[in-house]
Structure 1
Amino acid sequence: MQTFSAEEMTALTKAVIHHMDEWKISGEDMLVILGLGEEVRPRHLQQYRQGDKSFPQTPEMMDRIDHIVGIADALRTTFPFSSQMRVMWLSKPHRRFQRRDPLAVMLAEGVDGLMRVRIEVDCAYGYHISEAMRINQSQKANQDAD
């Protein structure tokens, strides 16, 4: 896991909060998506927005941040001229999510939900994941054959 300086982590925190603000996500939902504990309240998000606090550098938080930034980048690539379309995509039921919207998947499934949404919106990331899984299965099959 890459370690960030305090300044880098503050900038990363502000960027992630900014992405979720652009997506029109409520404070309560932000806390769930970020996996922040019950001791953090929606009113505390202002401290993160202003750079007074930054997210902890735990492996799970860094995974969540990676997926949120990846989703934001993919949405910006898919809908470069319309922030409204990005918000709409996140809130529109999708057939690959059993008619649930991507935001509901992220809220219900945590890191796995973030990854599923990212795979759906970012084809390059989806290819990378499927290729890694294929290689892993191939290596496992070779080990079983030995």
Structure 2
Amino acid sequence: MSDLTLDERCALTRRIMGLVEGWNLAARDILVLLQLPESIKARNLSRYRDEDCFPDDAAVNRRLSYLIRIEDALHTYFPRNPEMRHLWVKRANKHFNKRSPVAVMVEDGESGLIAVLSHLDCTFAWDMTGSKAEYGQ
């Protein structure tokens, strides 16, 4: 994501802020989920809705990438029901030991993002297992 122009990065920032706010995440949870630098305080998150872009940091970029893929997968699961996309991430899920997917993402960090994405997107899970590399041989 480092190859994005400033305008593209700002558009991505607004898209992600819309996503996490649609999930009704608290400001502190957004900071944890995105692994934003400690210099960014919860009270400063509003600037990402309107003016600033997320920092171009490898850890932040990875998490943004996971969130974009999660959002895309939710669109595939619920193409005609946007409310269900937000509801699914907030409901307890037996796959995650009765925790909600959003709780898994916030509490477990990057591994939680990967777990939720793997659950939603079988191609991502397939890539993670190394099957893609074995298949090409």
Structure 2 length-normalised TM? 0.86
Structure 1 window deviating more from structure 2 (22-31 vs 69-78): it is: 22-31
- 2:55 counterpart residue number: 56
1:67 maps to: 66
State the SS of the aligned residue for 2:25: coil
Residue 3 (structure 1) shift: 2.1
Which residue does 1:13 correspond to in 2? 13
Structure 2 CA distance, aligned partners of 1:133 and 1:58?
29
> Secondary structure in 1 aligned to 2:109?
helix
Deviation at 1:84? Answer: 2.1
Q: Residue in 2 aligned with 1:112?
A: 111
Which residues in structure 2 correspond to 1:59-138 (within 5 Å)?
59-130=58-129, 132=130, 135=133
Contact 1:106 1:113 in 2 (8 A): yes
Shift in Å at residue 43 of structure 1? 2.6
SS at match of 1:53: coil
Q: Secondary structure at the match of 1:40?
A: coil
- Determine if contact 1:90/1:103 at 8 Å carries over to the other structure: yes
Amino acid at match of 1:25: L
Aligned amino acid, residue 17 of structure 1: M
Deviation at 1:117, TM superposition (A): 0.6
Q: Show CA shifts across 1:58-107 (max 9, x none).
A: 11111100000011111111112222211221112222212211111111
Larger radius of gyration: 1
**Superposition pairs of residues 36-47 of structure 1, within 5 angstroms:** 36-47=36-47
Please list every run of 5 or more consecutive structure 1 residues that lacks an aligned counterpart in the other structure.
137-146
- The root-mean-square deviation of aligned C-alpha atoms, in Å, is 2.0
Give the match's secondary structure for 2:3.
Answer: coil
Distance 1:133 1:113, change over 3 A: farther
> Which consecutive unaligned segments of at least 5 residues does structure 2 have?
none
**C-alpha deviation, 1:118, in angstroms:** 0.7
Aligned residues, how many?
135
Q: What is aligned with 1:144?
A: none
User: Could you tell me how far apart the structure 2 residues matched to 1:122 and 1:59 are?
Assistant: 22
Runs (4 or more) in structure 1 with deviation over 3 Å come to 133-136
